[in-house]
């Protein structure tokens, strides 16, 4: 069975075609091609300002955290899940040019019988800890509380989502409409340890975790934790890997659990500094989340995107590919592959932007370019040591 068929059986989609079809006729706001929806500032009536909002979450990464907590008793993992939910909102907003201050509201659904008071407290308190850490890095987020509901009939373990909002100048919005032939693409690594992180980050982010969990972890988890998966799934796709969360990964010296549960890195401190110096030169900022390295195709118009010099594939994705047998073309479409943020800009400012990243210990390089369109619509070519792939 190929990867696409397995994903369908698992109930997930890398392209989210049903979602895009469902929202196709909705009002797209002031800047239809921006990374997040932007509306007039109806709160103050100031025509120079706008409101921007986004809703996202940690996804099924919370199930991995549940398994890790049950196996280790380590409550610290829930702070990481709080970070996943926060950053998946924050880093979408910064793609539209927002730099704060931000307002954040959490939405937590849990099965109280399986997710009791101690992990719940660690999760809620973890939200504030993450925001305090981001404030030290120059990003101001105000925690507005939220909804925590006991939904045992709906949620088997725990679901962690949130909504983030910001007010900003209309003139500061990055609309993605300036992506042009001749632009260079600067890619920023999702792996390593930045100046504002306390430990090594595998770069996994919060996308593709359903596939990663079932393809990497062994059937031990199906046998011992039936609450961690849909019992209606075919046994052929459930926990079909060979690893336990406690197994050590030779290349990184981290456990499999630590690699898969690395908290989603925020690029907000980096992008804020870049925008302070080069906002007028930035044509697009893309968060390579859902859709991985093909995310740009949702925003680029009438151009050919060529990624010929991507950063090395991070070890966690090599692990997932080796466990799953997924072809590399699909890996680039599901996962960020070690490069979760990219900027489209002019060649003249590339060196300065890369230097800003280096000051934060974030690997960055020119990873591609924008050329004239050769097909009927915008398209992408990835040229890597894994092969050449067309999307």
Spell out the SS3 assignment of 161-210.
EEEEEEEEEHHHCCCCCCCCCCCEEEEEECCECCCCCCCCECCCCCCCHH
Residue that the structure tokens 């002019």 belong to: 346
Closest residue by Cα to residue 56 from 31, 32, 29, 37: 37
pLDDT given at position 104? 98
Could you confirm whether domain 3-205+261-390 is CATH 3.90.550.10?
no
Closest residue by Cα to residue 210 from 314, 72, 58: 58
Tokens of 200: 């090594």
Residue that the structure tokens 């596939």 belong to: 211
pLDDT given at position 171? 97
Residues of the chain with pLDDT under 70: 1-16, 19-20
- How many Cβ atoms are within 10 Å of 274's Cβ, its own excluded? 24
pLDDT given at position 26? 76
pLDDT given at position 13? 59
Each residue of 289-342: pLDDT tens digit?
999 999 999 999 999 999 999 999 999 999 999 999 999 999 999 999 999 999
Each residue of 243-283: pLDDT tens digit?
999 999 998 999 999 999 999 999 999 999 999 999 999 99
Determine the Cα–Cα distance for residues 375 and 213; give it in Å rounded to an integer: 37
pLDDT given at position 360? 98
Tokens of 151: 């939904």
pLDDT given at position 22? 72
Q: Specify whether the CB–CB gap between 295 and 251 falls below 8 A.
A: no
pLDDT given at position 23? 72
Q: Domain boundaries in the chain?
A: 3-205+261-390
């Amino acid at each position: 069975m190929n990867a696409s068929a397995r994903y369908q059986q698992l109930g997930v989609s890398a392209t989210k075609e049903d979602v895009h079809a469902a929202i196709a006729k909705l009002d797209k706001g002031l800047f239809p091609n921006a990374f997040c929806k932007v509306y007039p500032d109806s709160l103050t009536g100031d025509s120079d300002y706008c409101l921007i909002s986004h809703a996202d979450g940690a996804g099924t990464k919370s199930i991995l955290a549940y398994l890790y907590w049950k196996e280790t008793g380590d409550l610290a993992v829930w702070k990481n899940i709080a970070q996943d939910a926060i950053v998946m909102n924050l880093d979408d907003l910064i793609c539209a040019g927002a730099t704060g201050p931000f307002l954040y509201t959490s939405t937590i659904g849990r099965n109280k019988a399986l997710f009791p008071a101690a992990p719940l407290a660690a999760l809620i308190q973890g939200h504030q800890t993450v925001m305090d850490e981001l404030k030290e890095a120059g990003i101001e987020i105000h925690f507005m509380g939220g909804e925590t509901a006991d939904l045992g009939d709906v949620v088997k373990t725990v679901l962690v989502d949130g909504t983030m909002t910001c007010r900003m100048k209309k003139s500061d919005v990055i609309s993605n409409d300036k992506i042009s032939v001749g632009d260079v693409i600067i890619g920023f690594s999702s792996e390593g340890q930045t100046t504002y992180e306390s430990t090594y980050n595998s770069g996994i982010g919060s996308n593709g975790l359903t596939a990663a969990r079932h393809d990497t972890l062994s059937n031990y988890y199906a046998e011992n934790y039936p609450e961690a998966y849909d019992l209606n799934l075919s046994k052929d796709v459930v926990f079909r890997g060979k690893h336990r969360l406690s197994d050590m990964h030779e290349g990184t010296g981290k456990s499999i659990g630590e690699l898969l549960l690395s908290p989603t890195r925020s690029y907000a401190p980096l992008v804020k500094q870049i925008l302070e110096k080069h906002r007028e030169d930035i044509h697009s900022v893309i968060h390579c989340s859902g859709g991985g390295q093909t995310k740009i195709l949702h925003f680029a118009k009438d151009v050919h995107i060529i990624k010929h010099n991507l950063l090395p594939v991070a070890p966690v994705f090599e692990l997932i590919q080796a466990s799953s047998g997924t072809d590399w073309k699909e890996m680039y479409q599901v996962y960020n592959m070690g490069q979760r943020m990219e900027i489209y800009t002019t060649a003249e400012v590339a060196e300065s932007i890369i230097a800003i990243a280096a000051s934060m210990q974030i690997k960055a390089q020119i990873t591609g370019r924008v050329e004239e369109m050769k097909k009927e619509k915008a398209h992408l070519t990835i040229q890597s040591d894994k092969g050449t792939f067309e999307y």
